[in-house]
Each structure stands twice: as C-alpha cells, then as structure tokens.
Structure 1
Amino acid sequence: MDSFVNWSLLALSAPGWGGVLLQGFLHSIEIALGGYALGLLLGVGGAFGKLYGGPVLRDLLECYTTVVRAVPELVLILLLYYAGTDLLNQLLGLVGLGTVDISGLMAGVFVIGVVQGAYSTEVLRGAIKAVPAGQIEAARAYGMSPAKVLRRITLPAMLPHAIPGLANLWLIATKDTALLAVVGFAELTLVTRQAAGATKAYFLFFCAAGALYLALTLVSNLVIGVIERHARQGFVEQR
C-alpha cells in the first residue's frame, strides 16, 4: 500500500518523477498543437478541393478521407512512422542523398496531422455547405472578389458550424498523442509507463497522468467556449 500514497515519487526533482511527467506532458501538447495545426491546414485545402476542385482532385481527396477514417489510428501511426520514414530514405537514396533520421517530434506532428486532416476536411466541408447560398450570391452580386467573399462572408458564416467539430478534433488530437508511445516517443503515456515500471507505483502514476489529461481537457473547454461565444456573436440560426 505504500506505493499508493508515496507522494514523494511525484517530486519534480530526483528521485521523484514529477519533472519527467511534466516534460512528457509538454511533449504531448507540442505534438497535439503541431498535428492539429497541420491537420487544419490539410482540412482547409481538402474541403475546398472537394467542393470546388476538379473530378480527379475530388476523387483523390475522397480516397484520402475514406482510408484514414476507415483504418484504425494505431495502424496508421505505425504505417506512417515506419513505412513513411523508410520510403523517404529510399527516395533520398535514389537521388544520391544520404538517409535522414527524422526526429520523434516531427514524425509525431506529421502522423497526427495526416490523421486530423482527413477529419478536418469533412468538418470544414460540412460547415461551408451550411452557409446559405443566398449570402454568397448576394456578395458576388455586389461585385466582391472570390477572396473577399471567402474572408468577409464564407469564413465568418461557417465558423459557428465548424467550431464544435473542430473542438472535438482538438480533444481527440490530445489523446491520440498517447498512441505515439508504441513508436517510442517520450510523450506523457510512455514516461508514465516508465515511471510506474521503475517504482511499481502504477496506481499513483497513471492517476497522475489521467489528472494531467483531464486538466488539459478542462482548460481546452474553457478556451473553446470563449472562441465559440465570440464566433456566434450576431449569428442567427437558420430554420
């Protein structure tokens, strides 16, 4: 029972593991932020490509979103991490360049971003389609350029529809970072497992990790709530 109540194991300095847990937690946040940003960028391009692109582009994007959403995320992480690195080094070898050792942070951001991109594409596509066509037609009738229509009409009108889905994707991204433990990246889940294995205080450390994930979720919900209220100012629900 001592291991369940030995709070000194969570001390920030050795022999405590608190500093290690916080460092892993920061790595998880870095990957989640980077992967979410990359996924959002891919999602914007994918949504507009599906809506306004040619038939070939739409078919390619449909394959991308279908495959990513159909295959378990753990399998995608293993495939993109190992097979992607191997494919990149083979391509570099073909052009006479040496192999590269991709950092775990960059690989994690890329993997999470590719997964997030498929879901963001569908969230943003649905949000854009929810914008009343009459608003866009009226903007065009006033002589607005496509860029101005996008900036002044489409984006503000689609945000209230997109934020709930994008908020869920952010929370999913924070949890998906735990899957990177299988490829040996020192995020929160992996360092928690290492700390628990070294001290045998499994209950203490996994409860501590759960508390950190919960704190991140609660803070995220507060920020998301502020953003959503700001985006819905002046928004009238269409019936």
Structure 2
Amino acid sequence: MASAFELIGLGSQGWGHALLQGLGVTLQISAGSFVVGIVLGLLLACGKLSGSRALAVPMRIYTTLFRAVPELLMILILYYVGSMGLNAALDWAGFAPINVNGAWVAIVVLGMVQGAYASEIFRAAILAIPHGQIEAARAFGLSGIGLFRRVTLPMMAPFALAGMANLWINLIKDSALISVVGTNELLYTAKQAAGSTRQYLLFYLSAAALYYLVTLFSNHMSGRLERRIRRWMPLV
C-alpha cells in the first residue's frame, strides 16, 4: 500500500498533479468571478449614487437579493434550471442541445454575487472621497466618464482595497461550491482522491493546506499593494 507521501506526491501513484490541476481551476474560477464582480460592482455603485430613483431602486433590490440568497442555491438554479431553459430554447430554434460548462456557471454566479457585495464597498469608498476634490475637478471642466476615470476611480481605490481583498479571499473559498455540479476544482478533486484511496483525512487536509497557502500569498500581495497605494495618499 502506498504511503501518505506517495499518495499526495507527483509520482505515478500520487494525486499531486490532479490536486494542482484542481487548484488551477479554482484560481481560474476565482479570478474570472472577481473580474465580473468588480465590473458589476462599479456599475451598481454608480447606479445607486446616480440620484435617479428609477435606476437606484432596481440596483438596491439586486444587491439585497443576491446578498440574501445562498451562493449554492444560485449555482443550482442557474446550472440546472438555466441549462434546461437554454436547451429548450435551442431545441425550439432547431439547434442541438449543449452541455453547460460548470466552470462558466460558477464564474457567472459567483461574479453576480460578488458584484452585490462589491457595490457596497465601492459605494462607501466613493462617499469617502472629500467632496471638495470632486468639485475642484468639475471646476476644471471634468464630468461624466472623464471625471470618474481620472478622479473618482483613483481616489476611491485606497478606500476600497481592503474590502476587495477580503472579498477575494472569500471568493477562493466560495469557489468550492461549484463541486456540486461536478467541476474538477480543488475540493472536487480532493473528494475523488479521498474516495478512491479511502484516505479522507489526508486529502481533505491537503486541500485545506493548498487553500491556506493561496490565502497567505493573497494576503501578502494585497498588503504590498495597499502599502504602495497609500504612499501616494495625502497625509491627513
């Protein structure tokens, strides 16, 4: 019988390659969802602060809904119900049915959920900008997208960075939820290895160690980025 080191190693009997591949899928899902969440969060935050009730109310309803419904339930709804609806529409149009990729579902669902949380972080960061800075930019003729790109976005970044770093850590953990639809991310691969070898503690601890290492590296990089950005902030 293979030893524990052989089972988690990179040899012919080991599951090391499979675990690293699963980690790669986890990071891909997390990165894709994070980008979707940032873009969606910025749009939602700007909509809430636009002053238009017709725009702000739907944005608030969206934020409340996606923060209230569990991510796992959203994944199941979008994956199973969404794929059935998509294939029904394709069948009606005369096209062959398709298999929905679980990783893409995870990116979309987790990105939509993260967008709801990110919108509150961005909204608070925008409100933290001194109002005089915005008025000064407007006095120089900036408005609309130019004002947001050149003034609002750079000034809100330091205020939003800590919250977004925390969302990234949570997103890495939430990506494990996609294992319910059979996507070969880290946790799903660890479950396969544990079931095949009956070494449940070994592989679950190995998966936990990989999640922990990714979290440590993420904390280190976000700390460096925060210190670098705050160097250019004015002293208060």
Tell whether 2:212 aligns with 1:214: yes
Query: Identity percentage over the alignment?
Result: 44
- Structure 2 CA distance, aligned partners of 1:123 and 1:85? 32
2:186 aligned residue? 188
Q: Taking structure 1 as the reference length, what is the TM-score of the superposition?
A: 0.91
Trace 1:1-80 onto structure 2 (pairs within 5 A): 6-52=4-50, 54-80=52-78
Q: Rate the CA distance shift 1:166–1:142 in 2: closer, same or farther, 3 A.
A: same
- Structure 1 CA distance, aligned partners of 2:180 and 2:30? 16
* Deviation string, structure 1 residues 147-178 (Cα, Å, up to 9, x no partner): 33222221121111100111111011100111
- Equivalent pair of 2:25/2:186 in contact (CA under 8 Å): yes
Match of 1:132 among 123, 130, 133: 130
- Equivalent pair of 1:81/1:111 in contact (CA under 8 Å): no
- Equivalent pair of 2:190/2:204 in contact (CA under 8 Å): yes
Aligned to 2:49, the other structure's residue is in SS state helix
Of 126-135 and 72-81, more deviation after overlay is shown by 72-81
Q: Rate the CA distance shift 1:59–1:145 in 2: closer, same or farther, 3 A.
A: closer
Q: Taking structure 2 as the reference length, what is the TM-score of the superposition?
A: 0.93
- Equivalent pair of 1:156/1:231 in contact (CA under 8 Å): no
Of 51-60 and 69-78, more deviation after overlay is shown by 51-60
* Deviation string, structure 1 residues 70-109 (Cα, Å, up to 9, x no partner): 1122112212222222233334445454433221221121
1:173 aligned residue? 171
Question: Which segments of 5 or more consecutive residues in structure 1 lack a partner in the other structure?
Answer: none
- Structure 2 CA distance, aligned partners of 1:58 and 1:94? 36
Aligned to 1:12, the other structure's residue is in SS state coil
* Deviation string, structure 1 residues 119-153 (Cα, Å, up to 9, x no partner): 11111111111111111011101222433322222
Aligned to 1:175, the other structure's residue is in SS state helix
Question: Which segments of 5 or more consecutive residues in structure 2 lack a partner in the other structure?
Answer: none
Match of 1:224 among 218, 222, 236: 222
2:116 aligned residue? 118
Q: CA RMSD, aligned part only?
A: 1.9
